[in-house]
Amino acid sequence: MHFANDSDTDKNWPEAEALMLLRAPLLRLPQIAKDFEHAFHHVAQHSSAEFLSTPVTALPSGRECGKFLAMDLGGSNLRVAVVELDGATETKVHVVVQGNWEVPARLKRGAAEELFAWVAERIADILSDCVSLLNAADREILFERGVELGVCFSFPMEQSSHTSALLMPMGKGFTFRTTNNLTALLEAGYSQLPSLPPLRIVSITNDSVATLLSAAYFHPTLAAAGIIAGTGTNSACLCPPCKLSASKQPSSPSHKSILINTEWSINGTLPPLAKFRTPWDLALDVANEKPGFQPLEEMLGGRYLGEIVRLVLCTLFSDLCEVPEWLTTPYALSTKLCSEIEGATSDEAARELLAPDLDFWLLPRARTFRAVAEAVSTRAAGLLAAATVGVLAVNDELRRERIVVGCTGTVLERYYGFRERCQRFLDTLVGEGKVRLVEVRDGGIVGAAVLAAMVKNGIT
């Protein structure tokens, strides 16, 4: 047990008042959606860090084919896979072999070269497994032709071509700030490894763009956006060039549209949120490694939902002499546990999940935990829906009768009831059935492979 300390949020808050503050945005979602639309209009014209143009000017046809190595580097994990695309079949995608690794904390705090040397080693792990399964003739062909790689990267970057990407300042716990060339970093790391086939980077894209491409591969006439709510949050959309500043215009005036990586978590989206940030949101932001950098992500990203719940609970229990030590330790409360508490069949079942601290977690306190977790996650689902409507509105997509929005990320996929709540908020905002969330599992990996096939066939 640990003695509770005073802090700026440690006044004697009634539970009802705390829940009212957390639920306040849900009463204003239509206006918040309009405010997001206005904010997106502004950053599309004036921000160099948001609504980033990509080299992609078309969505896939759904008929793309090929076999590619694909990697997806996110805020928490790295995935590498061999992906076979066959648009002529019903299943369309077959993941032949894959690996999934948690990104070590030391690499998030180190130099970019160290991170990408580790990434190259994990690519080598997958390739070595593949090579070991080949006969001598096929192995010789592979080493002669090389391996084509599609890259998905879950952080902001500036792109001038499909294989050129300069890294911009990163969130999600990554602290290196210098501008780095992603292709050069990967190639340098890979070149240090022996006995591997040549590696050719065919395409690089952002995770949100990959999600949209993956959704469009399966829903080629309906997909209009891709959204992510995992460790962090982001979205992508197909944008008319007239909505963008001159510096973001596609290279050819013949292009009718351009895929945009919105980077909507960055501070350009603060205006719609400012009046709804609670003392706990502000406390989290001040303690973050980059205060003020990602206000939307701090309100709905999986890295932060558990921490907001912890901060609220610390406030509500501040008049107690002793609380569990983890409750006073930053980021000790996981978003995963919050999901499990919400999904418990009863308050008593939720309480059992809090062992071994059951002496503290009496049933009323467990009930409070559950109510706070539900308020925090429901607020996140509402804000995600409002931001999604804002993106669709700014690109005139809401004129269409039916829209598919591809979605992925651990919060959308695994948090108890989150995607269903987000869908209900979308139905309330734009009408039932107009915008349908479609889960895109393996969206980063599949989208990276789809874009590699598009680039190889010259249709982007």
d(CA 269, CA 263): 9
pLDDT band with cut points at 50, 70 and 90 for residue 1:
very low
pLDDT of 6 strictly over 50: no
Q: Rounded mean pLDDT of 428-446? A: 95
Q: How confident is the model at residue 82 (pLDDT cuts 50, 70, 90)?
A: very high
Residue 106 has pLDDT above 90, yes or no: no
Q: Over pLDDT 70: what percentage of the chain?
A: 95
What is the rounded average pLDDT of the residues 180-194?
A: 89
CB 75 within 8 A of CB 230: yes
**What Cα–Cα distance (Å) separates residue 366 from each residue in 183, 259, 369?**
49, 45, 5
* CATH placement of domain 54-218+442-456: 3.30.420.40
pLDDT tens digits, one per residue of 127-179: 998 888 889 999 999 999 999 999 998 777 788 889 988 877 665 556 565 55
Which residue would you say has higher pLDDT here, 419 or 110?
Answer: 419
- Tokens 């995607």 sit on residue: 419
Predicted local distance difference test score (pLDDT) of residue 170: 60
**N-term to C-term CA, the chain:** 58
**pLDDT score, position 173:** 59
178 SS3 class: coil
pLDDT digits (tens, 9 = 90+) for 340-383: 999 999 999 999 999 999 999 999 999 999 999 999 999 999 99
Burial of 424 (0-12, 13-18, 19+ CB in 10 A): middle
At 7, the pLDDT band (50, 70, 90 cuts) reads very low
* Residues 299-348: tens digit of each pLDDT: 999 999 999 999 999 999 988 878 999 999 999 999 999 999 999 999 99
Mean pLDDT rounded to a whole number for the chain? 91
In this predicted structure, the answer to whether residue 452 has a pLDDT above a threshold of 70 is: yes
Residue among 427, 323, 302 at smallest CA distance from 373: 302
- Look at residue 8 in the predicted model and tell me its pLDDT: 45
pLDDT confidence band for 117 (50 / 70 / 90)? very high
In this predicted structure, the answer to whether residue 207 has a pLDDT above a threshold of 60 is yes
pLDDT at 175: 59
Distance CA 31, CA 389 (A): 11
Least confident stretch, 42-56, 166-180, 237-251: 166-180
**Beta carbons of 370 and 350 less than 8 angstroms apart:** yes
- Tokens 């874009």 -> residue: 451
- Whether 11 has a pLDDT exceeding 90, the answer reads no
3-state secondary structure of 81: strand
Span 438-448, average pLDDT: 92
Q: Which residues fall within 8 angstroms of residue 408, CB to CB, at 6 or more apart?
A: 211, 214, 226, 228, 230, 439, 440, 441, 443, 444
Strand order in the sheet with 77-86: 93-102, 77-86, 65-73, 147-153, 199-206
* Strand boundaries in 7-119, DSSP class E: 52-53, 65-73, 77-86, 93-102
Q: Tokens representing 156?
A: 């902001």
User: What local confidence, expressed as pLDDT, does residue 178 receive?
Assistant: 59
pLDDT tens track for 381-406: 999 999 999 999 999 999 999 999 99
What are the boundaries of each domain within the chain?
Answer: 54-218+442-456
